[in-house]
């Protein structure tokens, strides 16, 4: 079992890390970004650089305080950067991911072993945490599209955990906290109490979705063991202190919109895409045909749940066994069951304002909890097998039905030679120059979504024609007046009003207006790609060129 344990952790660490380690490196075409790293990774780098300088402001919305965002992971990497002097890009893409992947696997194994006293359960839980995946690959194969389909039913799967590094860190913190909690329940010690409280309480600021589900799970677990209440209360206190300390002026971003994920799963071409079913279910809803609407949405939910769970559905064996005899269930069973239920129900009814799909992240924790319980169920199912042949068939079947998504996602998304997005060497040179200048706010051109949509599809595409990202802030280390509209939506910033001001500035022929704009908004630098200009000339704007190459002009406001 020790060899199997080492093998699954090593393979899991490598497979997870492959989604990150190629990004952020320099290639002949510039710096490449695979998968979501072209947007999400760049945002985190911008935020980490800002935090490393001691600023708690929005790096892409200069002058505004950061709010409605959990900064735990970014703060940790900023701290590592300060004490090691390792570049943030290297920490984010090449160093922290393998460490996190390894920690999640080791802590999963250690937690389940501590909880169930079964090496087999610990092994299988670790397997499902690393490789657990949806059944989307089956649909893709039937449609002749290869073995991808990871998020066909909306949720990301195990292989993409590091693409969302705060999520991966939150898993490690939850597992560490639960290990200390188990030790505490066996024998009280202040060391176990303090570490359990800290790990579980600090999780809220690493990933708010995790914090909400975690606190709810601890409260439900008190129904089985009242001693957990004091850990719940202590973790809640830490969470509330951090929330109010780092979220002053924040707003509630959740809006009630039931079954949006079910409808878009059926209606969007980059999801399951069953247009006839989508048309039927939504028409039943509009026409209030309850007798047809309810069954249609129940079927859609079943497809969503089963499709996303994949082979983790075998958790049902362990769950049903404990439902039939509740005495078999302990506090951890209650904890994980509550996370599965709450993490599934919340996104079914609530969306995040501005970026609706973000609430699917609640469901990520349902999949994680299901992975743990599936691992617990596996040895119990194997014990029912009467022959070695039956055991071999079951094990082989589970593995073969589980890993295609991991293989397909790596091959199709993260291992191709050319990435979908890049920063050219010329832009990197310009951003490096800007990074060496005195601190000040940078004005860029607003993101042109139409130009991005019409851009040549041959990869890699420059980030300014890829998505609205934080790349100028990320690689110059300077706050940008307006950048990354996606994350501005997520954090609830009124960026549209600011964008209108920027557009008016560029179009204006009023000398007084443009001068007032630059002064009022404390603009120090202007970053333009070749071909980008304002209506008025440089001298009329009051700016002086301080850098030029084949791709970029940088000006200083005089």
Long-range contacts (CB closer than 8 Å, 24 or more residues apart) made by 288-295: none
State the CB neighbour count (10 A cutoff) for residue 500: 11
- Looking at residue 512, its pLDDT comes to 86
State the CB neighbour count (10 A cutoff) for residue 496: 11
Mention every residue, 6+ apart, whose C-beta is less than 8 A from residue 244: none
C-alpha dist (Å) from residue 347 to 256, 355, 520: 10, 13, 41
Distance of CA 486 to the CA centre of its chain: 14
In the block, residue with structure tokens 């940078």: 442
- Looking at residue 1, its pLDDT comes to 64
- Looking at residue 459, its pLDDT comes to 86
Asked if 378 contacts 129 with a C-beta cutoff of 8 angstroms, the reply is: no
- Looking at residue 252, its pLDDT comes to 60
State the CB neighbour count (10 A cutoff) for residue 466: 22
Mention every residue, 6+ apart, whose C-beta is less than 8 A from residue 221: 228, 232, 331, 332, 334, 335, 338
pLDDT along the chain (558 residues), means of 10: 89 97 96 94 96 90 88 94 96 97 97 96 97 94 86 94 96 97 93 96 93 96 93 94 74 82 94 94 92 94 97 92 86 96 96 84 96 96 92 94 94 93 96 96 94 83 93 96 92 90 92 89 95 90 93 94
Domain ranges of the chain: 2-38+69-273+304-414, 424-557
Mention every residue, 6+ apart, whose C-beta is less than 8 A from residue 313: 306, 374
Per-residue model confidence as pLDDT tens digits over 461-477: 999 999 999 999 999 99
State the CB neighbour count (10 A cutoff) for residue 339: 26
Strands 552-557 and 523-529 come out as: antiparallel
Which pTM was predicted? 0.93
Per-residue model confidence as pLDDT tens digits over 483-533: 999 999 888 888 999 999 999 999 999 888 888 899 999 999 999 999 899
Helix, strand, coil tally for the chain in percent (to 5): 65, 10, 30
**What gap in Å lies between CA 475 and CA 423, rounded to an integer?**
10
Q: Which two tokens stand for residue 282?
A: 């939504």
**What gap in Å lies between CA 156 and CA 366, rounded to an integer?**
12
Mention every residue, 6+ apart, whose C-beta is less than 8 A from residue 430: 527, 547, 549, 551, 552, 554
């Amino acid at each position: 079992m020790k060899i199997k344990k080492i093998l699954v952790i090593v393979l899991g660490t490598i497979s997870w890390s492959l989604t990150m380690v190629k990004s952020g490196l320099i290639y002949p075409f510039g710096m490449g970004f695979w998968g979501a790293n072209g947007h999400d990774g760049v945002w985190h780098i911008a935020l980490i650089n800002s935090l490393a300088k001691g600023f708690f402001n929005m790096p892409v919305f200069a002058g505004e305080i950061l709010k409605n965002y959990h900064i735990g992971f970014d703060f940790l990497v900023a701290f590592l950067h300060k004490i090691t002097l390792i570049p943030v890009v290297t920490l984010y893409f090449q160093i922290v991911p393998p460490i996190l992947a390894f920690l999640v696997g080791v802590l999963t194994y250690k937690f389940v072993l501590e909880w169930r006293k079964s090496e087999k359960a610990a092994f299988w839980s670790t397997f499902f945490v690393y490789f657990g995946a949806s059944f989307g690959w089956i649909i893709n194969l039937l449609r002749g599209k290869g073995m991808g389909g990871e998020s066909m039913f909306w949720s990301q799967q195990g292989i993409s955990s590091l693409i969302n590094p705060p999520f991966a860190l939150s898993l490690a913190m939850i597992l560490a906290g639960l290990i200390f909690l188990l030790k505490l329940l066996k024998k009280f010690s202040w060391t176990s109490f303090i570490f359990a409280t800290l790990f579980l309480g600090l999780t809220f600021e690493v990933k708010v979705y995790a914090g909400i589900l975690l606190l709810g799970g601890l409260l439900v677990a008190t129904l089985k063991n009242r001693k957990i209440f004091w850990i719940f209360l202590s973790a809640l206190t830490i969470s509330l202190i951090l929330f109010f300390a780092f979220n002053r002026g924040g707003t509630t971003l959740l809006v009630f919109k039931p079954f949006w994920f079910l409808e878009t799963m059926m209606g969007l071409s980059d999801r399951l895409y069953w247009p006839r079913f989508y048309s039927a279910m939504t028409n039943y809803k509009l026409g209030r045909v309850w007798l047809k609407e309810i069954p249609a949405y129940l079927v859609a939910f079943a497809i969503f749940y089963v499709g996303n769970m994949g082979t983790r559905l075998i958790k049902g064996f362990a769950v049903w066994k404990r439902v039939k005899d509740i005495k078999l269930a302990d506090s951890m069973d209650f904890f994980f069951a509550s996370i599965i239920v709450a993490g599934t129900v919340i996104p079914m009814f609530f969306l995040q304002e501005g970026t609706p799909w973000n609430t699917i992240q609640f469901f990520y924790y349902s999949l994680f909890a299901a992975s743990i319980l599936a691992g617990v169920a596996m040895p119990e199912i194997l014990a029912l097998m009467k022959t070695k042949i039956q055991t071999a068939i079951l094990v082989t079947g589970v593995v073969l039905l589980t890993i295609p998504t991991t293989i397909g996602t790596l091959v199709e998304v993260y291992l191709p030679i050319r990435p979908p997005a890049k920063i050219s060497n010329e832009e990197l040179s310009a951003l490096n120059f800007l990074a060496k200048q005195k601190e000040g706010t940078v004005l860029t051109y607003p993101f042109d979504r139409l130009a991005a949509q019409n851009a040549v599809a041959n990869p890699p595409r420059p980030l300014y024609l890829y998505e609205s990202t934080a790349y100028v802030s990320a690689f110059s280390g300077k706050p940008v007046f307006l950048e990354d509209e996606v994350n501005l939506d997520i954090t609830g910033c009124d960026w549209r009003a600011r964008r209108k001001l920027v557009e008016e500035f560029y179009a204006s022929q009023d000398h007084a207006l443009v001068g007032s704009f630059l002064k009022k908004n404390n603009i120090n630098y202007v970053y333009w790609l070749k071909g980008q200009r304002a209506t008025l000339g440089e001298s009329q704007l009051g700016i002086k060129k301080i850098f030029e190459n084949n791709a970029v002009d940088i000006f200083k406001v005089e």
